[in-house]
Amino acid sequence: MEDLLVRLRDSIARHCVAPMTRTAIEGLLLFHADTPTTPTDVVYEPRFCIIVQGRKDVMLCDRVFAYDASKYLVTAVDLPVSSRVTQASPEEPYLALCLMLDPTQIADLLLDMQEDGAPLDAHCTSCLSVSALTREVLDPVTRLIDLLDRPQDIPILRASIMRELLYRLLHGPQGGILRQIATAGSNLAQLNRAIGWIREHYTDAFDVAQVAKIAGMSASSFHRHFRAATMMSPLQYRTRLRLQEARRRLMSGAVDAAEVGFSLGYDSPSQFSREYRRMFGAPPARDAQRLRIATTADMQVNAA
């Protein structure tokens, strides 16, 4: 497997011309960092990520997912996380790739698989997981990246290589959760509808019963499945989205904390400051001032 990792390192080092590079292959991002980075708050949409050199921590609530070139990471729903590169140097930079996952592509593949009628787990499990990287998964990834050297081949070969990669992932330890996001009527597909609604209306007040109806579940069932999948309640999810956006706005220095809090749905500056401090460990203004020293490169790399 080391031979494939060497090929990937060389390819990413050549094609990643910035801390984050969008490639000619739709949904494929490359990342590079010469030093460890500060923690950055981002929302991970459904994605597949590999680190080919270096290490990274991804924090979801109070759980830390550490991974390196021996593992791959998959997320199956939109998750507000904090992440940071923990191992990188100019001599051995952090090099990684991220490929966005399309439930429609997975659904099309499931139609052609013999196991398409396999029963789905009725209970949602965590939608962020790290698994051991295998040669079966790494091989199609390497051939996909190789297409960057032959851009004329991308329109013809990308789909077949991507299909092979998805096939390998569906047969891996995270195959069950990937089947759910592509299967209409599954608990995870229902949760995805609700999560999409929350992301569009996170500045609004709502109760769990209201969003449960969007998911097509009872309030108790929705709350249980939501927490299992995201490690937080629906209202905690909304709060995390609000506070991540507040942090982003405050780092720009263009607005004050009270204005930001009101614009994101908080009833009072004290409520906003209290929840912000609980999540980030410092009041809004002090935290934003500290974070302004973080470079743009840090923020881009942590999007991987």
236-298 CATH, one of 1.10.260.40, 3.50.50.60, 1.10.10.60, 2.60.40.1840: 1.10.10.60
CB 27 within 8 A of CB 102: yes
* Whole-number Å distance between alpha carbons of 57 and 227: 21
DSSP 8-state class, residue 88: -
For the stretch 94-129, pLDDT in tens is 999 999 999 999 999 998 886 544 444 545 567 899
- What is the residue extent of each domain of the chain? 2-182, 187-232, 236-298
* Whole-number Å distance between alpha carbons of 109 and 182: 10
CB 300 within 8 A of CB 52: no
User: Percent of the chain beyond pLDDT 90?
Assistant: 72
Q: Worst-scoring range by mean pLDDT, 63-67, 108-112, 151-155, 274-278? A: 108-112
What is the reported pTM? 0.86
* Whole-number Å distance between alpha carbons of 247 and 30: 25
For the stretch 211-234, pLDDT in tens is 999 999 999 999 999 999 999 999
CATH 2.60.120 is held by the domain 2-182: yes
pLDDT for position 124: 53
Instruction: Give the three-state DSSP class for 166.
Output: helix
CB 112 within 8 A of CB 216: no
Which token pair is 184? 């209409």
